[in-house]
Amino acid sequence: MQHQTRSVLTILRNIMAMKNQTIEIIPQKTIWKGEKLAPVSIVLYGDYESDACAKANHVINELIDEFEGKLRYNFRHFPLTQIHQKAQKAAEAAVAAVQEGKFWEMHEVLFQKKRGLGTITLKEYAKEVGVTNKKFLETLVNSTFSWEVRADLLEGLDKGVRDVPAVFINGEKFEGKPTHDGLKKSIEELLKPKKLKPENKKRA
């Protein structure tokens, strides 16, 4: 009886220890592409099953090369689950890749293969880009990173996002389609030297 009591106590302690363990999750909002101190920041809210988002992502990648050192890019999740049933798990897979420093590799693969985003194939893509977590599939099944995706979605809604792609440049929502020419014009405007007003010149 005493032995059984000890066994029960040991099990209870183990359960309590597991409950007290917190999983440290690296937020995707901290993962940027481009120069860290770049004067222009672009944030794209998107969905991995969306053709328009894939195009916007491609355009932004081109602009990062074009404005070398002056532009940085952050991707946020906004899965339109009513029309894209696999977008949520694809987003969770991207967050899982963040934890191993493989976000951008996974991100690009997901857009390239947006027609094949089943749970098993997501695991294969993760392996292709170098994710080594043996419990990767388990994290998708258990929705381990679902709250991170939801946090992006809620933040997007708070900023007025209702459809994707939604682009923000230096915190301001870009109106219209995120074409190369349209985004380039906005970036160039922000990079123009600020002219001093006449009264400021007199004070100088």
In tens, the pLDDT along 46-79 reads: 999 999 999 999 999 999 999 999 999 999 999 9
pLDDT at 108: 97
> For the chain, which domains are there?
25-188 (3.40.30.10)
Residue 23: the pLDDT is 62
The answer on pLDDT for 6 being more than 80 is no
The overall pTM is greater than 0.75:
yes
Residue 195 reports pLDDT greater than 80: no
Q: Are strands 40-46 and 71-77 parallel, antiparallel or unpaired?
A: parallel
